[in-house]
């Protein structure tokens, strides 16, 4: 079914975009029906993904798309990297692509140099999950437009597959999509677009598996949605040393801005790459003050709260430390 819908999008887009954008039934078919169909397709697959189908905002886009976003990486096409179906409405082709956001790169480097950056990153992405890209190809793609964004999508394409409406078969498309989403997940587990030396610096280690686990943990902990939900489900006190920002420092800001850190405390080393659920809220998380958070990451097992608690040697005794104040 998804194949049918995408074929219809590829074949009818040029005709439909000659009509007014506002109130277009076709635009609605893409945004709604295609998105619903795609959701159904991936519903039983074990990924945490959001998705969106677009024909442009306020105006017809040159290249309509259907994208799959991992919430740890991005919630929109303007950031990070993601899996996307890109339509070339002139050639009437559908390309399934491991791709990346152009907006931030264009803003930083300008369009021409930005495309060089995108091409370089696309190569890095393809190499990082080279073992999972076997059924796809890395040839450049063509989207039939010389506008800035489509040229950016072309430059940002790491690997994928192109179909024609005549050749597209639902079972093939679904299998390819599943394989590309597996590669997406693997790319996230392996550090995404972050260069290896940067990951090694941050993790303070050279061991590749350790570096990947650390990078992924920090990514999970910093994801805004994760932080918000974990904070909402816990008492806002450090689970290591019991530091209470309100009692101990008179913290009076919003709970969401509490100085406590969210710590992902499920060992990621047991996580096979085929496994897709990366975390559960709140079970897999601890709330820690920044010092306890640093220290727990130095443990052999950064999930062992008991070990952290045993190592604490100070007490919050202001009267003892500062008797005159």
Q: Which residues bind Zn ion (CB under 5 A)?
A: 238, 240-241, 243, 263, 289, 292
CB of residue 312 to Zn ion, shortest distance in Å: 8
CB of residue 79 to Zn ion, shortest distance in Å: 23
61-71 in b/e form (b: 16+ CB < 10 A) is bbbbbbbbbbe
Q: Which two tokens stand for residue 102?
A: 């152009």
The whole-angstrom separation of Cα 84 and Cα 86 is 6
How many other CB atoms sit within 10 Å of the CB of residue 214?
Answer: 21
Q: Which two tokens stand for residue 19?
A: 């009509």
Nearer Cβ to Zn ion (181/226) = 226
Contacts of 313 (CB under 8 A, 6+ apart): none
* Residue whose pair of structure tokens reads 């692509």 in the numeric block: 97
CB of residue 196 to Zn ion, shortest distance in Å: 20
Nearer Cβ to Zn ion (12/309) = 309
Nearer Cβ to Zn ion (120/294) = 294
CB of residue 255 to Zn ion, shortest distance in Å: 17
Per DSSP bridges, beta strands 261-264 and 159-163 are unpaired
CB of residue 194 to Zn ion, shortest distance in Å: 17
CB of residue 257 to Zn ion, shortest distance in Å: 17
Nearer Cβ to Zn ion (160/240) = 240
CB of residue 48 to Zn ion, shortest distance in Å: 19
17 burial level (CB within 10 Å; 0-12, 13-18, 19+):
buried
Nearer Cβ to Zn ion (53/288) = 288
Q: Which two tokens stand for residue 194?
A: 């972050």
Helices vs strands, H then E, count in the chain: 14, 7
Nearer Cβ to Zn ion (143/308) = 308
Which candidate, 62, 12, 67, places its Cα nearest to that of 177?
Answer: 67
Nearer Cβ to Zn ion (109/242) = 242
DSSP 162-192: EE-TTT--HHHHHHHHHHHHHHHHHHHHTTT
């Amino acid at each position: 079914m998804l194949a049918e819908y995408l074929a219809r999008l590829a074949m009818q887009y040029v005709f439909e975009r000659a009509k007014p954008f506002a109130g277009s039934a076709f635009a609605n078919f893409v945004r709604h029906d295609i998105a619903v169909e795609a959701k159904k397709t991936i519903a039983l697959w074990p990924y945490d993904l959001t998705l969106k189908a677009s024909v442009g905002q306020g105006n017809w886009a040159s290249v309509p798309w259907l994208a799959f976003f991992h919430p740890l990486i991005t919630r929109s096409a303007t950031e990070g990297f993601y899996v996307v179906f890109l339509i070339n409405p002139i050639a009437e082709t559908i390309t399934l692509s491991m791709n990346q956001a152009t907006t931030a790169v264009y803003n930083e480097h300008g369009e021409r140099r930005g495309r060089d950056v995108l091409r370089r990153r696309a190569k890095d992405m393809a190499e990082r999950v080279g073992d999972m890209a076997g059924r796809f190809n890395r040839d450049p793609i063509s989207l039939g437009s010389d506008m800035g964004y489509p040229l950016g999508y072309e430059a940002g394409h790491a690997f994928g597959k192109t179909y024609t409406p005549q050749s597209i078969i639902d079972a093939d498309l679904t299998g390819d999509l599943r394989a590309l989403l597996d590669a997406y997940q693997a790319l996230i587990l392996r550090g995404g677009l972050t260069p290896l030396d940067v990951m090694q610096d941050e993790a303070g280690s050279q061991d590749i598996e350790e570096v990947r686990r650390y990078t992924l943990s920090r990514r999970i902990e910093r994801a805004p949605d994760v932080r918000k939900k974990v904070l909402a489900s816990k008492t806002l006190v450090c689970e290591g040393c019991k530091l209470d920002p309100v009692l101990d420092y008179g913290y009076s800001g919003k709970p969401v801005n509490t100085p406590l850190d969210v710590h992902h405390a499920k060992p990621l080393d047991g996580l096979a790459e085929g496994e897709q659920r990366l975390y559960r809220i709140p079970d897999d998380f601890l709330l820690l003050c920044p010092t306890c958070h640093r220290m727990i990451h130095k443990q052999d097992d950064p999930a062992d709260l008991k070990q952290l608690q045993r190592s604490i040697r100070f007490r919050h005794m202001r009267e003892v430390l500062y008797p005159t104040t």
